[in-house]
Structure 1
């Protein structure tokens, strides 16, 4: 017996249209994420090729890491969308990994001298929660 047997034929048709619309939107999002991932990857490759023309080598390396981490974030979000197509549900682990990567990216660009102690505590707390979430998911999948 289906969850939708009690619905009228009109309501079943409406739900079917909504489901198909959702899949189309997810497919469009996946295409845009692929384009963004490729653009950020090529940007990182360009930055690597031009690293020695940068005034400050360390700053250039940080910029490369910044772009590469952005690429990883986009790929993890894309993995969430593709896993939805495979399984029909949203997986939490790629979202947590993308969040953790975003926080590492934030730490790389922060100027420590200008940061307030509350911001530091918040960032440490967020990173701790994300790591704990990833660990709990890893343990439950074993």
Structure 2
């Protein structure tokens, strides 16, 4: 098994996206990339901890490639908006890829470069690519939030 960690706005919809991918064996929502140890949702929402809302994905690379996960990541949010996705504003909603090894770093940088050169977006891609930090699992009520409510998306 391998791990991938993505931030693409509110983690509820991002988790639901990846949870449904064949080859993904587990997902968890949480926080990464900030200063404070064991932050709470309320603390992260203040936009003062430096954490991003992320989805930690465990996957079987024999079934789904990391490159495919990157494609889904970029296809399902706007990577050109700095610290914002739709109505959600703040650095906790930033577009970010936390890589777990050099191969992931190289693949993420290449995917970003290709997308920037593709002409798909008028504005440049602002997705951050950083080494993975400690993953702090979010409170249990956030885990599989949309699935628990019978929803497939939180987008309007």
TM-score (norm 1): 0.25
Structure number, greater radius of gyration: 1
Structure ranking higher in strand proportion: 2
TM-score, normalising length from structure 2? 0.24
